[in-house]
Amino acid sequence: MGVRNFLVAYNINLNTIDPKIAQEIAYDLRELGRPIGKKNSKTIYQTGLLKEVKAIGWYIKDFDIAQVSINLTDYKSTSLFDVFETTKQLAIKYGVEVTGSELIGLVPKEALLTTGKSYSGIIKKSEQELTQLAVDKLGLAELAPFDPKKRILENVLNAS
């Protein structure tokens, strides 16, 4: 029996409706990278910037925005902080801005605490403060409220 790491489904919102820009950013982010040609009927890729990242770009009609939709297959090797900050830099390259993000489903507490620590630097903060800092800096409440009691895996498990 095989076991994989917890997959974090994560979308980053852009201030554009153009899914092509979101896809370009996704190519740059994802470990597989950008298709650059074919050899012996196999697609050749230029490796992307972040390990353990799968990504695509798309348009979300309900919110009238383009998003980079990401699966983090190992959030311990590539953090939410790394993905969000790298996406912000790439967005500038393509003439757009990151406006916020959203987590799909549950997220391990450690993923948010690590992000909060990355944003807080050397300033010591409680787990609740680190979580709120991560939620604020990642813009996780941009499209819908983010309730840690309902969205953090350990909180949901402990409430059962």
- CA 84 and chain centroid, separation: 6
- The predicted-structure confidence for 55-103, as pLDDT tens digits, reads as follows 999 999 999 999 999 999 999 999 999 999 999 999 999 999 999 999 9
- DSSP 8-class letter at 56: E
> Above 70 in pLDDT, residue 2?
no
- Domain residue spans of the chain: 8-159
Give the pLDDT of residue 123.
Answer: 83
**Which pTM value belongs to this model?**
0.94
- Compute the distance between CA of residue 34 and CA of residue 136 in angstroms, rounded to an integer: 31
Give the pLDDT of residue 127.
Answer: 95
Is the separation of the CB atoms in 35 and 124 below 8 Å? Answer: no
- Compute the distance between CA of residue 156 and CA of residue 73 in angstroms, rounded to an integer: 21
3-class DSSP assignment, residue 28:
helix
> Above 70 in pLDDT, residue 11?
yes
The mean predicted confidence, pLDDT, of the chain is 95
Give the pLDDT of residue 4.
Answer: 77
- DSSP 8-class letter at 15: S
CATH assignment, 8-159: 3.30.70.670
Give the pLDDT of residue 3.
Answer: 67
Reported as a pLDDT band with limits 50, 70 and 90, residue 110 is very high
- The predicted-structure confidence for 125-147, as pLDDT tens digits, reads as follows 999 999 999 999 999 999 999 99
